[in-house]
Amino acid sequence: MAPESDDRLLLGPGAQAGDDQSRMNQSTRGQWDWYASHRRAIERLIVPEARGGRICVLGAGNCNDLDLKWLAGAYAEVHLVDIDPAALERAVQRQGVADVAGIWRHAPVDLTGIAGMTAAWQGRSVRDDEVGRAVEAVGRPVQPIEGGGFDVVLSPCVLSQLLVAVRDRVGKEHRGWPRLKRAITERHLAEWTGAVRGGGRGVMIVDLTSTRVVPGLDRAGDADVPDLMRMCVRDRKCFHGLEPAELAGVMRRQLSAGGAEISTPWIWHLGFGKAFLCYGMTVRRV
């Protein structure tokens, strides 16, 4: 099975008003317990360097991977961004922080810039000129997130969602898909790093591969995960384009960004026999 045939946990924006994302958010909203170790791994990467800062989460969705009470205690402001307003509202209600000062919801926000355009592609062949217009639209200057200049900007397994949502509409065999995929990647990296203030950090969590591509991944011990990740990259048993060196290379070429710090990878268990191999990438804005 080709790595890109892997079905991701969540489908990103690609329908009108995020219909696909909304359906997936509803289907996964009860999985809080399965996210526990994944939440802890993310929290280790976003511990604030000083109290009173501001954090922005791109594609927050159900917030199953975020302990909002912990975030509200660690940061003076928590900004949650998503295409699905209902998911954010359910999240703050479920975690009991709907009335907590300092938690801001920004929705609907389309991180691809082409959600409405790709909605019309569902169930039919997409013409080359349509893909070309989408590439052009994706490449337009990114509008800053309201309230920008954050101390930390977190992208939690969002890039794969954005890519898969569009790929499933255009078709991975379409000759224009590689160009559109590259444009979406560059846009998200620009949006992610562009919202960080000088001296702040961008933290991206990447779900690199899953048990659909690497059977037995869910049984890997912690000590085995770094070697397993190297094997997956070497043998291309991963989502092409999300490898650490590939993403760091895009940042150097397109954003003139410096080095990226890659965390120790971990296994995110999501049910019996279902797991994802994840890693974190941190960059600092000078």
pLDDT, tens digit, for every residue of 91-101? 999 999 999 99
Extract the tokens encoding 96. Answer: 């009991």
Taking only the tens place, the pLDDT of each residue in 72-91 is 999 999 999 999 999 999 99
User: What is the number of other CB atoms lying within 10 angstroms of the CB of residue 70?
Assistant: 15
For the segment 204-228, the average pLDDT, to the nearest whole number, is 96
Does the pLDDT at position 14 exceed 80? no
Q: Please tell me the predicted confidence (pLDDT) of residue 12.
A: 35
Q: Which residue has the higher pLDDT, 16 or 44?
A: 44
Which residue ranges make up each domain of the chain? 3-119+131-208+246-264+280-284
Q: What does the buried/exposed string (b/e) look like for 78-112 if buried means 16 or more CB atoms within 10 Å of the residue's CB?
A: bbbbbbbbbbbebbbebbebeeeeebebbbbbbbb
CATH topology of domain 3-119+131-208+246-264+280-284: Rossmann fold (3.40.50)
Q: Please tell me the predicted confidence (pLDDT) of residue 123.
A: 87
Residues 6+ apart with CB under 8 A from 77: 53, 54, 55, 102, 103, 104, 147
For the segment 4-16, the average pLDDT, to the nearest whole number, is 34
Question: What's this model's pTM, rounded to 2 decimal places?
Answer: 0.88
Q: How far apart are CA 122 and CA 14, in angstroms?
A: 9
Taken in order 252, 255, 256, 261, is the CA torsion positive or negative? negative
In the chain, the amino acid numbered 120 is: A
| Reported confidence tier of residue 253, pLDDT bands at 50, 70, 90 | confident
Q: Please tell me the predicted confidence (pLDDT) of residue 51.
A: 82
Q: How far apart are CA 204 and CA 76, in angstroms?
A: 21
pLDDT exceeding 70 applies to what percent of the chain? 88
Q: How far apart are CA 199 and CA 284, in angstroms?
A: 6
Q: How far apart are CA 147 and CA 136, in angstroms?
A: 26
Q: How far apart are CA 81 and CA 109, in angstroms?
A: 7
Q: Which residue has the higher pLDDT, 178 or 259?
A: 178
Extract the tokens encoding 103. Answer: 């938690």
Q: How far apart are CA 112 and CA 135, in angstroms?
A: 10
Q: Please tell me the predicted confidence (pLDDT) of residue 144.
A: 84
For the segment 120-147, the average pLDDT, to the nearest whole number, is 92
Q: Strand runs (DSSP E) across 68-114, as ranges?
A: 77-81, 103-106
Give the pairing of strands 275-284 and 266-269. antiparallel
| Reported confidence tier of residue 30, pLDDT bands at 50, 70, 90 | low
